[in-house]
């Protein structure tokens, strides 16, 4: 086997993505081998953080919508029970609109990457993740090599810590998208994703590692990252510090049902400088989640929610005065099921959403729609303090420490109501309440789909076998030029409909690995009539 270290500074791409990309500073070095700690830091910043959408890309193959944005896994936000489609005016599909591009995800179809107009497009997320992991593997290896030369040890520790955090985060996303959920009883046999953590090229084809093996590597990376970043507080939420590591570790341990470890990691994260924003002082038009919010611990990437839901992508009026169609909307909205979860007096109902064309849409984020605003947020990989609090509360409830769990809930809910109603639930009902609170607080941040998967296999309080998600479907009537609801698609519980809860590994990866990677067959899903 040839051992070849894949480490070099690439010819740098000019970053002209606006404020989301400003922290990834522009470099002009020629391609060369990395020889210093500073080289590794530049490579980390330039190649390993998730990028914002590339506004110059505008092909359906790269999952763009009508304005040409390319996004990271936008489909994650339309498969769960927090979203439903919204249609009005125009034509039944139109190729670049979210309803067409994401429709097979919304319907949990056999090939989710096939549009409603039967156009195939490429899953680029798998490739993006593994490309970044390949560079991270080399950075981690070289950081250790450079220590023997007595290079800048402090910088090398920070670089390795950030690299290990990112590698752990990308494997966490990979295994929760393309693998089975973590089940304590079966994780050692359940299919995860391929693990590649060596810095050299291996002359072999890759197959799926077990879910247990992937999570074990994630924990190993995060523990080492915590050592490397001990005491480090980044100057920006766009870089990684010790608190971000412990926050992510609390999430991972929660998924693994390692509840004592989850609590310890959450406590470490909560001892940082971050605080929960008090919505009692929120004003209309203000975004709760932003780059500089006191709640934001770490953020990177773009914000697919902005382009997937109604207001930003679809509510346009045709400028031709003779064109009589109403505003065209072929997109998604907040589900009625989610909106019903908020009690009277819950300030999130007003501050997290707004109305557009009589539909509720997410409005939590400071986004790129404010073109000159440097406080925009990326939701592709976002960690906030409220999640850490809820991680700890759920872990405490799972350990039957109901009183302690309610204390944690009060830390959050006291900032979400003028006077927060008392939490009276206990036992299993308290666990359910915390899960609902998690849904209310973390909606459209990429948690809900993953949470439903892990609830399904939880060893203490699994979702019932009759759990299901129904997504309404609409049809177009050409004579009246109107839409009408004509039925629904239903996703059954994970125990009954497992393959549909797992995104298939793309064909190009299967072909490259000569069939060593396999997908479960996703069933055809019939439209059910009301």
What is the 3-state composition of the chain as percent helix, strand, coil, each rounded to the nearest 5? 40, 15, 50
Q: What is the pLDDT of residue 460?
A: 98
Please indicate, yes or no, if residue 151 is contained in any of the structural domains: yes
Tell me, yes or no, whether 185 lies in a domain. yes
Least confident of 35-39, 94-98, 162-166, 492-496: 94-98
Task: Compute how many other C-beta atoms are within 10 angstroms of the C-beta atom of residue 235.
Answer: 8
Tell me: pLDDT of 29 over 60.
no
Mean pLDDT over 461-478 rounds to 95
Cβ(395)–Cβ(259) below 8 Å:
yes
Q: How far apart are CA 290 and CA 376, in angstroms?
A: 6
Any domain includes 164: yes
d(CA 8, CA 309): 39
Q: What is the pLDDT of residue 1?
A: 34
- Sequence-ordered list of residues with C-beta below 8 angstroms from that of 399, at least 6 positions apart, any chain: 259, 260
pLDDT 10s digits, 162-186? 999 999 999 999 999 999 999 999 9
Number of domains the chain contains: 2
Please, what is the average pLDDT of the chain? 86
* Torsion angles phi and psi, residue 384, rounded to 5: -125, 155
What is the domain range of residue 140? Answer: 8-54+124-230
In a domain, 448, yes or no: yes
Q: Do 361 and 311 touch, CB atoms closer than 8 A?
A: yes
- Whether the CB-CB separation of 444 and 305 falls below 8 Å is answered with yes
Contact 116, 99 (CB under 8 A): yes
Phi, psi of 394 (to 5 degrees): -65, -40
Per-residue pLDDT for 80 more than 60? yes
In a domain, 240, yes or no: no
User: What local confidence, expressed as pLDDT, does residue 10 receive?
Assistant: 36
The residue that leads in pLDDT, 308 or 217, is 217
CA separation for the pair 464, 457 (Å, rounded): 10
* Out of 20-29, 148-157, 285-294, least confident range: 20-29
Q: Nearest Cα to 474, choosing from 459, 493, 487? A: 487
Q: Is the pLDDT of residue 376 over 70?
A: yes
- In the predicted model, is pLDDT for residue 313 greater than 80? no
pTM: 0.90
Is the confidence at residue 60, as pLDDT, over 80? Answer: no
C-alpha 301/C-alpha 314 separation (Å) is 23
Instruction: Give the pLDDT of residue 69.
Output: 41
265 in any annotated domain: no
- Of 413, 439, 456, which closes a domain? 456
Whether the predicted pLDDT of 318 surpasses 80: no
What is the domain-level CATH number for residue 219? 1.25.40.390
Residue 326 predicted with pLDDT over 80: no
**How do residues 221-253 score in pLDDT, each as one tens digit?**
999 999 999 999 999 999 999 999 999 999 999
Contact call for residues 85 and 331 (beta carbons, < 8 A): yes
Check if the beta carbon of residue 53 is closer than 8 Å to that of residue 301.
no
For every residue of 100-150, DSSP letters joined together read HHSHHHHTT-SSTTB-TT--B----HHHHHHHHHHHHHHHHHHHHHHHTTT
Phi, psi of 52, deg, nearest 5: -75, 165
Residue 370 pLDDT: 55
Residue 18 within any structural domain of the chain: yes
Q: What is the pLDDT of residue 508?
A: 93
Q: With 80 as the cut, is the pLDDT of residue 90 above it?
A: no
pLDDT digits (tens, 9 = 90+) for 127-148: 999 999 999 999 999 999 998 8
Dump pLDDT digits (tens) for 426-469: 999 999 999 999 999 999 999 999 999 999 999 999 999 999 99
Q: Which of 172, 200, 230 is at the close of a domain?
A: 230
In this prediction, residue 4 carries a pLDDT of 38
What band does 356 get if pLDDT is binned at 50, 70 and 90?
Answer: confident
Q: Is residue 267 part of a domain?
A: no
Final residue of a structural domain among 407, 427, 456: 456
């Amino acid at each position: 086997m040839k051992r070849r270290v894949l480490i070099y500074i690439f010819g740098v791409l000019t970053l002209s993505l606006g404020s989301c990309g400003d922290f990834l500073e522009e470099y002009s070095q020629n391609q060369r081998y990395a020889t210093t700690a500073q080289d590794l830091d530049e490579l980390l910043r330039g190649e390993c953080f998730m990028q914002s959408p590339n506004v110059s890309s505008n092909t359906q193959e790269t999952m763009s919508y009508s304005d040409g944005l390319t996004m990271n896994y936008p489909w994650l936000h339309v498969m769960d029970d927090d979203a439903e489609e919204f249609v009005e005016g125009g034509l039944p599909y139109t190729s670049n609109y979210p309803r067409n591009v994401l429709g097979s995800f919304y319907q949990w179809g056999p090939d989710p990457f096939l549009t409603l107009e039967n156009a195939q497009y490429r899953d680029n997320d798998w490739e993006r993740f593994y490309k970044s992991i390949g560079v991270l593997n080399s950075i981690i290896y070289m950081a250790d090599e450079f220590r023997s030369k007595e290079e800048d040890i402090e910088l090398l520790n920070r670089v390795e810590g950030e690299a290990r955090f990112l590698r752990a985060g990308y494997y966490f996303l990979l295994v929760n998208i393309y693998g089975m959920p973590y089940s304590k009883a079966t994780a050692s046999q359940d299919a995860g994703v391929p693990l590649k953590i060596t810095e050299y090229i291996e002359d072999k084809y890759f197959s799926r590692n077990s879910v247990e093996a992937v999570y074990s590597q994630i924990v190993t990376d995060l523990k080492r990252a915590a050592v490397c970043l001990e005491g480090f507080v980044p100057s920006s939420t766009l870089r990684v510090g010790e608190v971000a590591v412990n926050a992510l570790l609390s999430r991972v341990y929660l998924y693994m049902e390692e509840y004592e470890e989850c609590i310890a990691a959450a406590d470490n994260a909560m001892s940082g400088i971050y605080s929960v924003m008090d919505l009692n002082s929120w004003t209309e038009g203000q975004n709760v989640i932003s780059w500089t919010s006191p709640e934001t611990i770490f953020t990177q990437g773009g914000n697919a929610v902005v382009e997937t839901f109604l207001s930003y992508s679809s509510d346009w009026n045709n400028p031709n005065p003779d064109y009589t169609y109403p505003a065209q909307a072929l997109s998604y909205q907040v589900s009625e099921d989610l909106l019903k979860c908020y009690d009277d007096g819950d300030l999130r109902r007003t501050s997290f959403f707004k109305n557009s064309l009589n539909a509720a849409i997410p409005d939590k984020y400071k986004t790129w729609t404010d073109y000159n605003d440097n406080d925009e947020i990326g939701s592709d990989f976002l960690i906030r303090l409220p999640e850490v609090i809820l991680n700890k509360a759920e872990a405490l409830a799972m350990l039957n420490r109901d009183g302690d769990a309610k204390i944690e809930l009060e830390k959050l809910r006291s900032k979400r109501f003028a006077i927060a109603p008392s939490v009276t639930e206990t036992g299993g009902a308290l666990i359910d309440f915390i899960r609902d609170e998690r849904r209310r607080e973390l909606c459209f941040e990429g948690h809900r789909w993953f949470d439903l998967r892990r609830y399904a296999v939880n060893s203490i309080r699994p979702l019932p076998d009759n759990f299901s998600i129904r997504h309404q479907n609409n049809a177009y009537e050409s004579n009246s030029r109107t839409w009408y609801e004509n039925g629904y698609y239903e996703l059954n519980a994970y125990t009954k409909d497992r393959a549909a809860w797992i995104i298939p590994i793309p064909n190009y990866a299967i072909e490259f690995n000569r069939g060593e990677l396999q997908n479960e067959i996703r069933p055809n899903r019939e439209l059910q009539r009301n």
